[in-house]
Structure 1
Amino acid sequence: MIRSIRFNSTQTGLKKTALHDLHVELGGNMVPFAGYSMPVVYKGQSHIESHKWTRSHAGLFDVSHMLQSTLQGKGAINLLHKVTPTDFQQRSPGVGTLSVLLNPEGGIVDDTLITKQSTHDFYIVTNAACAENDSQFLLSELQSVTEAKWTPIRNRSLLALQGPDAHRVLKPLLAWDQSLTDLYFGHRRTYKLFNGTYIDVARSGYTGEDGFEISIPNESASDFVRSLLDNQLAKPIGLAARDSLRLEAGLCLYGNELNESITPVEAALSWVISKNRRNITEGVKFNGYEKIMAQLNNKTHRDLRVGYKYQTKGPAARTGSKIFLPDGKTEVGHVTSGSASPSLDNLNIGQGRVLKPHNKRGSNLLVQVRNKLLPIELVKMPFIPSHYYKG
C-alpha cells in the first residue's frame, strides 16, 4: 500500500489529459491527483505487478499533468542563475539536469528538470501540484530580469516510458534513420516517427531505470500510445507504482521531502549546486546564497534527508511518523515517505529528516507506527541500483 501520495475521493471539476479517455478504455482506475483525473492502477494488474513490470520490462506513464514551459531570451541565463543554484552557462545545448527553484530564503519552491535547447532557449518541466505557484513565482522573478520570456507550453502531452526494455519499445516507432544509441541520460532532442510526426525525447525519468520522457502534440498522443502498447514489452502503469519506483530510486517527492522551508543542502541535494557557483564574487547570486553556502561550508543546518530500512517486519511508517533514538524517548526526526519495497521482497523502506549527529549512515533508530516502536537502520540511497543509460 502506497503511503506517500495522498489521493482525494471526488472527481468533481477535475482537468483531464488528452489521454483520459484512453486510460478509461484501458481499465484505468481514475483518481483525483494535482487537480487532474489520473490512473492510479489499471484493471488486471496490481500495484506490485505494475511496479515489477516496469523494473523488468517497460512501463508507460501519462505525466501530461506536469507543467512544460520554455524560457527564452538573452536574459534567460540571468533568471536561471537567480532562481537556481545550477550553472547553465557552461552546459551544452541538448543537455538537461535536475535542479531546484529557490525562494529568497533558499527554500525549494519546486524541483525541476531544465534542458538547454540553445544559448538563449531553455525547456523546463515542473510538478503538476506546484504549477500555479511555480507560474506565479517565475513571473514575479521575471520582473527583475530584462530580455527574458517565460511561456507555458500548451497542447502537448508528456509521456514517461521507463524500464530496461524502453528503448526496444520506442525504437521501432522511429523513422528508419533515427537512433537512440547516442542519446545519453540527461540528453534531449527531436525525433521523427515512422508516420512523420515529430516528438521531443529526453533520456530521463523518475524510476531509476533507463527510459524516456516524450513530449508530443495532443492530437498525436493517443495513436502514439496505442502503438507503444502494441509492443508486448510495454504496459500502461499508474501513479501507485510511479511513487514506489521513485522511492526505491531515492528520489524526492515535492510536499514530502521538499518544501519552501527546506534548502538543497538539507534535502541532501547539494550536488545541484554547481561547483563554479559556490564562490560567487561578482554577477548573479542565487536566491538564499548566503544561507545555503553557510550550510554547505560550515554545516550550519540542523537536520538532513536520509534513507532507512526496517530491521524487522511490521506496518510501513506513514508520512509524519516520528523517529526516535534507541532509548525510545528522544525524538530526532520524522518520516517523509514510506512504503514496502516490491523490489526488496516488500521490505519496508522510507525517507525522513533526522537531526545531526544522528543522521549518519548505519545509525540504528526507532520509528513509531501507531503505538509501536520499530527498529530501522539509516542507509545509502538509492535503495536499489540505478540503471541510467550513459553510453
Structure 2
Amino acid sequence: IKTSVLHDFHVKNNAKMVPFAGWTMPIQYKSLGIIDSHHHTRNKVSLFDVSHMLQFKVYGKDKESFIESMTVCDVKGLPENGGSLTVFTNAEGGIMDDAIINQTQQDYLYCVSNAGCSDKISTCLRENLIDFTAKGGEVVLELLDCGLLAVQGPKMAEVLQTGTDTDLSKLYFMQNVEANLFGVDCRITRCGYTGEDGVEISVAKNRAVELAENICSHEDVELAGLGARDSLRLEAGLCLYGNDIDEMTTPVEAGLTWCIGKRRRKEKNFPGAEKIVAQIKSKPSKRRSGLIVSSAIARNGAIVQDGNGNEIGSVTSGCPSPTLSANIAMAYLPLPLSKVGTEVNVLVRKRVVSAKVTKMPFVPANYFMNK
C-alpha cells in the first residue's frame, strides 16, 4: 500500500486513514464529520489531498497527436493554458479511464488521471509511445512524482489570493498557470471534483506539506477526506471510475458525449471510434441517469426495476445528499426509461423503494466560468 507525501500530515491532524486504490488515504478528520465537512466545502473552503492521482507531462512536436491517439479529446484545439476532461478508450469504445488534459505556456501537455487506473494508463502510455515513435512521431513522456492538493469551495480564491501575485480573477475554469503560492512554486489548475469553484495544485513533494500547512492556516479552511469528496462529487453528477464508468461503458452511454471533439467525431481516429460515433448518431440503448430515491439509501449494486418488477439496471453510486436532504443515486437505465420524471423502483435490502429519474447535476455547479 502506497502512502501520500502528506501521510504524516494527515495523521498529525487526526485523520481516519483507509485503503483506497492501492493507497492509504484520509476518509475524514476528527475535527469535522463527513456531513459537516461536506457543508463546509459548499460554504467555505476545504483542502483535499489528491496526491494519489497519476500526473504526467508530454513533450515534443507531436505531443497532441500522441494523446489524441488514445483519447477522444480535441487536444490540438485546446487554447494555451486551457484544458478539458477526456476519456481514454479501448478498441470496443469502452472507457479505460477519465483524465484532464491541459495545454500549457511551457509547450508541454500536463495531464492528470485516476489513481486506481495508474498502472493501466502508465502501461498504455508507454506501449503507445513505443509504437508512436517507431512510426516517426516525436514525443517524450514524463511520469511525475509530485504532490497534488485540491482546494475547493466558494472562498477558494479569497484564501489563495493572499499568497500569490497571480491574479486568480483572470484564471477561469479549466485554465492553468505556473505560479508562486505562499512562497512555493507550483502549477494551479482551476478545476475539481466537487462542483464548487476550486483548484488543483501540483507541487514538488518536498514542498507539499509546507504548502498545505500555509493554506490550512487560514480560518476558513478545513481538511477534508474521501467521505466528503464522494458525496460532493455525486451531488455534482460526476463519475467515479470503477463505479459509474468502466471498460464496458462508452462515453455516450455515460453522458460524456460533450467531451468528444467535433473534429474527432469526423476523423474517427481514436480507439473505438466507429462504435462511439454510431452511438452518437443513433443513440445508445442505455444512459447514465440520476435518481431521487424516496425512503432509503440506494448504494452501488442495488437493482433498479420498472413498474412491473422487471430488472432494468442497477445503481452505480448512491448516498444521502447533505445539501438536498434527499437520497440520490446514479444508474444506467434503458433509453426509454431514462427520461426525467420517469418513475422506477429500487430494491434496497429486499425492500421495494420508489424513485424518480431526475436531472443531473443534482446540485447546480458553481464553477468560475469566463463569461
TM-score range, shorter chain: over 0.9
Cα distance in 2, alignment partners of residues 385 and 49 from structure 1: 19
Instruction: Give the residue type in structure 1 aligned to 2:303.
Output: K
Q: Confirm whether residue 201 of structure 1 aligns to residue 191 of structure 2.
A: no
Choose from 217, 232, 236 the match for 2:219. 232
Cα distance in 1, alignment partners of residues 79 and 195 from structure 2: 23
Alignment of 1:159-174 (within 5 A): 159-174=149-164
Choose from 151, 166, 175 the match for 2:142. 151
| Alignment correspondent of 1:95 | 82
Scaled by the length of structure 1, the TM-score of the pair is: 0.91
State the 4+ residue runs in structure 1 displaced beyond 3 angstroms. none
Cα distance in 2, alignment partners of residues 378 and 67 from structure 1: 34
Aligned partner of residue 181 in structure 1, secondary structure: helix
Aligned partner of residue 77 in structure 2, secondary structure: coil
Aligned partner of residue 336 in structure 2, secondary structure: coil
Cα distance in 2, alignment partners of residues 271 and 143 from structure 1: 30
| Alignment correspondent of 1:324 | 305
| Alignment correspondent of 1:376 | 355
Q: Confirm whether residue 186 of structure 1 aligns to residue 180 of structure 2.
A: no
Q: Confirm whether residue 285 of structure 1 aligns to residue 285 of structure 2.
A: no
1:143: Cα distance to partner?
2.8
Instruction: Give the residue type in structure 2 aligned to 1:386.
Output: A
Structure 1 residues 132 and 237: alpha-carbon distance in aligned structure 2, compared to 1, 3 A threshold: same
Greater CA deviation, 238-247 or 31-40?
31-40
Cα distance in 2, alignment partners of residues 381 and 48 from structure 1: 21
1:194: Cα distance to partner?
4.4
Instruction: Give the residue type in structure 2 aligned to 1:185.
Output: F
Alignment of 1:122-137 (within 5 A): 122-137=109-124
Q: RMSD of the alignment, in Å?
A: 1.3
1:226: Cα distance to partner?
1.1
Q: Which runs of 5+ in 2 are unaligned?
A: none
Instruction: Give the residue type in structure 1 aligned to 2:12.
Output: E
CA contact (8 A) 2:65 2:76 kept: no
Alignment of 1:210-221 (within 5 A): 210-221=197-208
| Alignment correspondent of 1:307 | 290
Among all aligned residue pairs of Structure 1 and Structure 2, give the percentage whose two residues are the same amino acid: 40
Instruction: Give the residue type in structure 2 aligned to 1:39.
Output: P
Deviations 1:82-132, CA, capped at 9 Å, x for gaps: 211111112111001100001111111000011012595211101001100
Instruction: Give the residue type in structure 1 aligned to 2:351.
Output: K
1:76: Cα distance to partner?
1.6
CA contact (8 A) 1:76 1:120 kept: no
CA contact (8 A) 2:160 2:181 kept: no
How many residues matched? 366
Cα distance in 1, alignment partners of residues 278 and 110 from structure 2: 31
Instruction: Give the residue type in structure 2 aligned to 1:245.
Output: L
Scaled by the length of structure 2, the TM-score of the pair is: 0.96
